Amino acid sequence: MLQLVDFVVRNRFFLVFVLLEVLSAWMIVRNNTYWGATYFNTSNYYVAKTLAFSNSVRDYTKLDEINADLASENAHLHAQVARLSQTNPSQLPAGYVPDSAFAARFSYTVAKVVDNETNKANNVITIDKGTAHGIKPGMGVISATGVVGKVRFCSEHYSVITSILHSNFMVSSKLVRSKEIGYAKWDGKDPNLIDMIDVSKYTKVFKGDSAVTSDQNSVFPPNIMVGKVQSVAVNPNQTFYNIVLKLATDFRNLSYVYVVQNHQLVEQENLKARTIELKK
Amino acid sequence: MSLREAIQYSLMILLYLFLQIFFMRNIVLFNYAFCFIYIAAILLLPADMDRMYTLLIAFAVGFVVDVFSNTFGMHASATVLIAYLRPFLIHYQMKSRGAERAEVGIRAQGLGAFVSYIFPLILIHHSMLFLMEMNNFGMILYTLIRIGASALFTTILIILLELFSKR
């Protein structure tokens, strides 16, 4: 027994060192625990307030670009309204009645970006709306120019968003001209470029074609801009293209975002969960 | 350690944390060179400080930076590692120079010895941090460049701050 005490006393620095390392490793691995998700990230009230203060100074210098983005979004929305009002419903298959609840399933909340990062291997964004404004983890986030990410943690007044520039985030997207569906996924290097994977090489892909969110998305509304095709390459051994997209959103200038709430998401997910249970 | 020194060093730690959280986190040169100036707070603690306190301070400082950058303990583990390795390096340097007292700082050690003290520790800290952040092995070259560039950037900034600071 005395030997044990002696050993502990002699090696106490090493033991404390190991203890602290194990503690931090545990925090990294179990980053979804209740207290980790509630207090120890930038959705913490005091942390977010501090960051908001330091961000407010920088915001003034970015007002020009924000205005330009909003103006171009307005133009885009005007065009869409015009197109929608002109579409004749005769394209729909006979007997198909559009459901108004389905058409109106998305609602939007405007939020201000409090803290933003683009240079790490896994980037997150903090915004100034939280559970008090009806925001819940899992909701999609878009900006005036395109897709931004997905809500990960919420506190009462702030939320942390997994940006599209994050290693475990993928968006189901569609190429407009070739009508091919694939996944947009970041490779962790340049914050302007994103890879599009799983696009079959037996269709033609055009350079400069736009990639938008596909209809198979439950989180994002369809036809939100993801990026433009910058380069296309074919690996002879594979059946898929290597497509690089130039992101539509400049993440470095992100100031205001919209949180998208899909009112039918729960219903859709429940239905999906039942098919998985049936398979078991 | 006298009370006056204790207050002085606490203020120094707070100052470096403030610098890190408000300024350095936004500064990235050429998308490669990051600056983690806060580790200077650990590196510049007095050399004869109790090792237990050094470890605990390192963990606390790393944890605060973690909370502000959503990294859940990556900074804490890297900072604790250098706090653990620091006394060995100081001891080794003291022996090889045959000095009587262990002291840390650009004035006490001279530029050459100071750089050979901080650079290895910064390199270890940055390697640990970036390798933990790396999510697939294909990024290894890219990560290595980042480690090298960031270690240089941090070292230069710490030296500059040391040169212009009056004790």
Model pLDDT for residues A246-269, shown as the tens digit of each residue: 988 888 878 888 888 887 777 877
**pLDDT at B9 (0 to 100):** 83
The closest of B87, B86, B98, B162 to B124, measured between CA atoms, is B86
B4 alpha-carbon distance from chain centroid: 23
Q: Which CB contacts under 8 angstroms, 24+ apart, belong to B119-122? A: B119/B151, B119/B155, B120/B89, B121/B39, B121/B43, B121/B82, B121/B85, B121/B86, B121/B89, B122/B39, B122/B43, B122/B82, B122/B151, B122/B154, B122/B155, B122/B158
> pLDDT band for position A94 (50/70/90)?
low
Scanning the structure block, which residue is given the tokens 């929305």? A77
- Tell me phi and psi for residue A197, to 5 degrees: -115, 170
Residue of B nearest to A24 (CA): B73
Cα distances from A141 to residues A136, A225, A254, B71, in angstroms, run 11, 12, 12, 21
Average pLDDT score over chain A: 79
- For an interface test with A, the pick among B30, B61, B70 (most A C-beta atoms closer than 10 Å) comes out as B70
User: Which residues in chain B are closer than 8 Å to A117, comparing Cβ atoms?
Assistant: 25, 69
Q: How far is B85 from chain A (nearest CA, A)?
A: 10
DSSP letter (8 states) at residue A208: T
Question: ipTM greater than 0.85, yes or no?
Answer: no
Cβ atoms of A183 and A167 closer than 8 Å: no
**pLDDT at A188 (0 to 100):** 78
Residue A191 pLDDT exceeds 60: yes
From first to last of its 167 residues, chain B has per-residue pLDDT tens of 678 878 888 888 888 888 888 777 777 777 778 888 888 888 888 877 788 888 888 888 888 888 887 777 888 888 988 888 888 888 887 777 766 666 777 777 777 778 888 888 899 998 888 888 776 776 788 888 888 888 888 888 888 888 887 65
**Which residues on chain A place their C-beta less than 8 Å from a C-beta of chain B?**
12-14, 16-17, 20-21, 23-28, 31, 36, 40-42, 44, 47, 50-51, 54, 58, 117, 119-122, 124, 126, 160, 167, 187-191
**Pair of tokens at residue A203:** 């269709």
Residue of A nearest to B82 (CA): A17
**pLDDT at A280 (0 to 100):** 62
Half-sphere exposure at residue B28, Cβ-oriented, CA atoms within 13 angstroms? 13
CA distance B146 to B29: 10
Cα distances from A118 to residues A38, A121, A176, A251, B86, in angstroms, run 23, 8, 27, 7, 32
Cβ atoms of A246 and A91 closer than 8 Å: no
- For an interface test with B, the pick among A24, A118, A163, A168 (most B C-beta atoms closer than 10 Å) comes out as A24
CB within 8 Å: A24 and B77? yes
Question: Is the model more confident about A245 or about A55?
Answer: A245
The closest of B112, B111, B92 to B102, measured between CA atoms, is B92
CA distance A221 to A224: 7
The closest of B14, B97, B95, B83 to B49, measured between CA atoms, is B83
Residue of A nearest to B33 (CA): A119
Give B 129-148 residues with CB within 8 A of chain A.
Answer: 130, 132-136, 138-139, 142
End-to-end CA distance of chain A: 53
Residue of A nearest to B76 (CA): A24
At A95 the three-state DSSP class reads: coil
CB within 8 Å: B72 and A28? yes
CA distance A197 to A238: 12
Please tell me the total number of residues recorded for chain A in this structure.
280
Residue A146 pLDDT exceeds 80: yes
CA distance A135 to A129: 7
**pLDDT at A31 (0 to 100):** 65
**pLDDT at A36 (0 to 100):** 60
**Pair of tokens at residue A65:** 């670009």
- For an interface test with A, the pick among B51, B72, B137, B146 (most A C-beta atoms closer than 10 Å) comes out as B72
**pLDDT at B146 (0 to 100):** 84
Q: How far is A97 from chain B (nearest CA, A)?
A: 46
Number of Cβ within a 10 Å radius of residue B97: 12
- Tell me phi and psi for residue B19, to 5 degrees: -60, -45
Q: What mean pLDDT do residues A162-168 have?
A: 85
Cβ atoms of A229 and A212 closer than 8 Å: no
Residue A88 pLDDT exceeds 60: no
Cβ atoms of B34 and B146 closer than 8 Å: yes
User: Which residues in chain B are closer than 8 Å to A23, comparing Cβ atoms?
Assistant: 59, 73, 76
> pLDDT band for position A82 (50/70/90)?
low
Percent of chain A clearing pLDDT 90 (strictly above): 0
Cβ atoms of A73 and A142 closer than 8 Å: no
CB within 8 Å: B67 and A40? yes
CB within 8 Å: B72 and A121? no
Quickly list H helices, chain B: 3-22, 40-43, 51-69, 74-97, 106-109, 111-133, 140-164
CB within 8 Å: A119 and B28? yes
A132 alpha-carbon distance from chain centroid: 21
Residue A87 pLDDT exceeds 70: no
- Tell me phi and psi for residue A64, to 5 degrees: -55, -50
**Pair of tokens at residue A114:** 């409090």
CA distance A42 to A49: 9
